[in-house]
Structure 1
């Protein structure tokens, strides 16, 4: 079986509550559609529990193929994401702190810090807008923080720090110090 482009398989990692279709070629009795449980596992006939959470579909398929070789000669397995339920929580932008309505909103391409703050109802009278921070988890797993001059954006139209947001970003608007 040809191995897919590794950068492609790393695009989506299976998450809790996703639904997967596991198809075993020429063995329909072993093919199932199952949810990913809170422990990140799925139940597969003959094999029992298989870890799926945090892995690419191709990785899960290869694991199932390897384990099925004890029962079937040269098994061919496909794992297809049928319902991407976990993605809904991963691809959100959160706005917290001194905003009228702290909110978690779906990420949309082209969304900026200003768009997200406005969806949160804007800032309160106690906000220290120029101390706003945008927190982002980098691919390496480390966190990044960006200074946002929200007061300058809102009052003067200075869009220099009106950054594009990414899925998973958290925008925090602190309160003024007395």
Structure 2
């Protein structure tokens, strides 16, 4: 009974995924992964954005008393010795450093701030989400030049029930959702490297269950 219930839940989730995918506008295929991507988004110029849960180090030159390590709160804010509730999430480390300098200038003369990030989490909008028949479905922090193969390694590959060659990648382009067929089974089981494609921040990968 429990096994039947579990399979029913899985089929329901696959149905929901299929409905979600069918609501997106479609496109045929993505170009194979390249070292320097030719996609609309320039992967080479990607800059990491701070997210809730990130641990950031703030160094204020010649002012160790206002320097330190801080965790970005769930609301995307941080509070330091002289800076209360400043938005950190969604900014690059450099942008955050400049924002802190502006506030510290009220108290310090010509403050120079450096921000570095530890324990990378990043904002949800930047994460790659893998749902369906992956061995370990989850959200993955995007890394510059990440490919489909990197993502599949991170989620442990496919389950035995996966229909990897009917998987789709959902991406927002120019404000509209588009879907692309991706050949995961050809990539990771047959070693067809041409099936490897670049992934971008915010991509969603939906892996359906085979019906046979």
Q: TM-score range by the shorter chain?
A: 0.5 to 0.7
Q: Secondary structure at the match of 1:48?
A: coil
Distance in 2 (alpha carbons) for counterparts of 1:35 and 1:73:
26
Distance in 1 (alpha carbons) for counterparts of 2:69 and 2:150:
39
Aligned 8 A contact 1:133 1:173 in 2: yes
TM-score between the two structures when normalised by the length of structure 1: 0.67
The count of residues paired between Structure 1 and Structure 2 equals 161
Tell me what 1:85 maps to: 120
Report the CA distance between 1:84 and its aligned residue: 2.9
Alignment pair present for 1:64 and 2:100: yes
Alignment gaps of 5+ in structure 2: 1-42
Q: How does 1:18-33 map to 2 (within 5 A)?
A: 18-33=54-69
Aligned 8 A contact 1:17 1:36 in 2: yes
Tell me what 2:29 maps to: none
Distance in 2 (alpha carbons) for counterparts of 1:36 and 1:162:
38
Distance in 2 (alpha carbons) for counterparts of 1:59 and 1:114:
29
Distance in 1 (alpha carbons) for counterparts of 2:62 and 2:150:
51
Alignment pair present for 1:120 and 2:158: yes
Alignment gaps of 5+ in structure 1: 1-6
Q: Secondary structure at the match of 1:133?
A: strand
Which has the greater radius of gyration?
A: 1
Report the CA distance between 1:110 and its aligned residue: 5.0
Higher helix share: 2
Aligned 8 A contact 1:133 1:146 in 2: yes
Alignment pair present for 1:76 and 2:112: yes
Q: Which has the higher contact order (CA 8 A, sep 6+)?
A: 2
Distance 1:69 1:100, change over 3 A: closer
Distance 1:122 1:64, change over 3 A: same
2:171 to 136, 143, 151: 136
Q: Deviations over 1:121-147 (max 9, x none)?
A: 1435xx5x6653221345x56433102
TM-score between the two structures when normalised by the length of structure 2: 0.58
Higher strand share: 1
Distance in 2 (alpha carbons) for counterparts of 1:14 and 1:173:
29
Deviates more, 1:84-93 or 1:31-40: 84-93
Distance in 2 (alpha carbons) for counterparts of 1:118 and 1:8:
27
